[in-house]
A and B are shown apart, each in its own frame.
Chain A
């Protein structure tokens, strides 16, 4: 009886504790890390699809791509991903998350619609741009038009204005085209009936199409640039991650309460609770690691994707850049030369006249012209180097000696190597087969690393080549810097690993990928305090490839 009385509060306490404990355990949310990872994966894929479509849009604009399949092929995949994201958000039940996904969905729908309309305008615009010049030259070659110089001139002005508008689709230029078209119309009306009337009307129709569609396309492209799909996706990612972190921290809070509860609980349940806590903690750690890892993955794959896209586009537009620079260089160089010749011609009479001041001014001008020519040649040499480095105008896989690639790289890296001693120890190496721009990039990365590691005073970079085996070429790039810390050694090829504040930490990882694709490898030797050597090993080219007989058919 008394035992029962004494035991009752304890029992009640235990029961209350157990009840509270059970409640806390029950309310502790279960965090589904798999689902979170899935959502992030989906967003990442969607982002890649979107980025690829943007690049393709630009390619279509630049006429590097002549079919619209790449613009529409990702649509089903995008729709499916957005639907799955909406489902995930719905399962989660968070309003903010649902809104973020819905916003992304709306942005994608709007963008798809704009792309749709872009295709409509773009196809008509390209048709008219292709036809208008031909229509013009047909009219021009017709005897009747040739007999009307006024009409010839107006038509010429119309074409000129149209070209200017295509180059710079601004309202003012558009108005100029319309004015020119009006003049042609007026002139045709003032003439006795022309046999070419229909052809001219047709040309005017196409000019109208160009003005209308070009303007519409400009508006659409501006809209596409601000479609904000990327931003909406980033927001969705953030919403998913926020939600996940919220759940993880709620789980952590509940577990902390459980811990406190177990602290005042009876010793008998301590062991059980202890086990539970231990399990909770490892789980939490695992979750945190998972978050960290998914984030790192996301960051890396996005960075590499953007890098690759950028590089491809860059290759495509470099042709344009080179032409754009070489054209002014052309007239600059030729003009300077002619100016120099002209000066030479007036210099002789000036000497004979013996006017000291005039002579001095002419001599000085001649010197300046000569400097100008040297400058032009220097710019041209840089362009040639750039082209050699990129070799966009060359075939992809070539046979060459590594020394050639190294020299191209060193010329381009001269500003990085400024103030350092460069030692070349080239051996007798055989040719290798490689994708030259890629290999150039590897060497540039390694030379850059070496130059940045070498001390500012007395820094030295040594580049040595040799045959490591009868069919293996070795390139050693050595610096006399502080070397690599033993604890850093295993991580130097990891993406985003960098010991310097600057740089994206991708150089070595990309280099290693490229060398592996060439079926070679990179070796590292380093003593702390005594510099580091990066060795690239590459197989030599097989002899007599491509000599097998095959016909031209």
Chain B
């Protein structure tokens, strides 16, 4: 019997067995008897400087970041819609139409990379990217800071929170700190922490199916996703089907390829977090699924590559609704 394929496990086991049996000097620590749960509860909110969070909150709503003062961060990250944009494509400075559906701003601190294509590693870099993006803010730091410095109240608030006052680093840090505070603990977190009554029997069944059908292969961890990249259409060609249905496949559909230019990264995207997923319609980077049910269908077809009874999918959707948390306080 060979339960553990590569990684030369036999050698490892043999070596370790020898170690124990013959030196006897090793203590064997107790193994974790519980089966590892693939989903993890949201950790408690970190201790953040309240002044910086407040500055970030102000910048998040400040249209002066945009070239023509027409949009702010919150324009495309609506707190009523799970921190995402209910419009298929977001509208940026000068009425420019974005290339993808804006993902949720909630719980981003627990995503390992930002943007759909995983193009930026940190929140600070993501802020730089959207500020310069001609379809989002179409601005630059000197331009934005120039406008912000005219606001004496803002400048003095920055001087209190940061020794260097208002500059690129402090503005970026304030925004990122605010984003780190946007966490949405949900009923399901209470369940994971041992409150068996936090979710209903049906929702529990849905969670069990979510695990059994293998959704957890990608959607796992604290954010139920957000910690890896995966090819969209791993088991069924999503983009070919989409093109056949008369949709144009554009540059934004190439995903990680746009960043690395490696052929194997074509159509590879960040696996999005499923927290608040019931609130963040439409779905996928191209907003091709209008409802959660449709999105689950697509996932079964192109990612899991298996059929499933409609009743099971309905239960999974029920489970997904338990991931909706309380929205952080709006202004």
> Chain A: residues with CB nearer than 8 A to chain B?
58, 61-62, 64-69, 71-73, 75-76, 79, 116-117, 119-120, 123-124, 126-128, 130-131, 135, 166-169, 202, 205-206, 209, 214, 217-218, 221-222, 225, 310-321, 324, 327, 382, 386, 389-392, 394-396, 412-413, 415-416, 435, 437-438, 440-441, 444-445, 448, 507, 553
Contact = CB atoms under 8 A, between A and B. Distances in A.
B24 A68 contact: no
A413 B24 contact: yes
B26 interface: yes
A123 B30 contact: no
Contacts of B7: 58, 61, 221, 225
Interface in B227-273: 227-231, 234-235, 264, 268
Contacts of B220: 66-69
Contacts of B161: none
A317 B1 contact: no
Contacts of A217: 6
Interface stretch (B35-43, B182-190, B282-290): B35-43
Contacts of A168: 2, 5
B306 A202 contact: yes
B16 A314 contact: yes
> Secondary structure of the A side of the interface?
helix
B6 to A, nearest CB: 5
A311 B13 contact: no
Interface of B: 1-7, 9, 12-13, 16-17, 19-21, 24-33, 36-40, 112, 121-122, 196, 212, 214, 216-218, 220-222, 227-231, 234-235, 264, 268, 303-307
Given A79-B121, A438-B27, A62 B4 contact: yes
Given A66-B37, A321-B17, A120 B228 contact: yes
- Residue of B39, B196, B214 most packed against chain A (CB within 10 A): B214
B21 A67 contact: no
B277 to A, nearest CB: 17
B275 to A, nearest CB: 14
Given A66-B216, A314-B26, A321 B228 contact: no
Contact of A69 (B217, B221, B234, B305): B221
B2 A209 contact: no
Q: Which 10 A-B pairs have the closest CB atoms?
A: A390-B28, A441-B27, A167-B2, A69-B221, A66-B38, A67-B220, A72-B112, A123-B217, A67-B221, A127-B214
B227 A324 contact: no
Given A124-B217, A225-B7, 19 more contacts: A61-B4, A61-B7, A66-B220, A69-B220, A72-B228, A76-B121, A116-B229, A119-B227, A130-B212, A131-B305, A202-B306, A205-B305, A310-B26, A317-B13, A317-B16, A324-B13, A396-B30, A435-B30, A441-B26
Contacts of A382: 21
A62 B217 CA distance: 14
Given A124-B217, A321-B13, A327-B1, A68 B28 contact: no
Given A120-B268, A169-B6, A202-B306, A318 B230 contact: no
Nearest to A168: B2
Contacts of A317: 12-13, 16
B39 A67 contact: yes
A315 B40 contact: no
A124 B234 contact: yes
Given A120-B230, A315-B29, A440-B27, A321 B6 contact: no
Contacts of B228: 68, 72, 116, 119-120, 123
Nearest to A444: B24
A214 B20 CA distance: 31
Nearest to B37: A66
B296 to A, nearest CB: 15
A506 to B, nearest CB: 9
20 contacts: A61-B4, A64-B32, A66-B216, A119-B227, A123-B228, A124-B230, A127-B305, A168-B2, A202-B306, A217-B6, A221-B6, A311-B26, A327-B1, A390-B28, A391-B28, A396-B30, A415-B24, A441-B27, A444-B25, A553-B196
A440 B7 CA distance: 31
Contact of A206 (B21, B218, B229, B305): B305
Nearest to B35: A66
A120 B231 contact: yes
Contact of B28 (A123, A135, A389): A389
Nearest to B6: A218
Contacts of A390: 20, 27-28
B235 A209 contact: yes
A315 B306 contact: no
A314 B19 contact: yes
A437 B30 contact: yes
Contacts of A311: 26-29
A258 B264 CA distance: 64
Given A62-B4, A214-B5, A327-B1, A416 B24 contact: yes
Contacts of B16: 310, 313-314, 317-318, 321
B321 to A, nearest CB: 21
A73 B121 CA distance: 12
Nearest to B231: A120
A188 B89 CA distance: 45
Contacts of B304: 127, 131
Contacts of B36: 64-67
Given A62-B4, A66-B37, A392 B112 contact: no
B93 to A, nearest CB: 30
B217 A169 contact: no
Contacts of B26: 310-311, 314, 441
A394 B229 contact: no
Contact of B221 (A68, A218, A389, A394): A68
Contact of A412 (B24, B29, B31, B37): B24
A394 B28 contact: no
A73 B43 CA distance: 13
A105 to B, nearest CB: 14
Contact of B214 (A75, A131, A313): A131
Contact of B31 (A67, A75, A316): A316
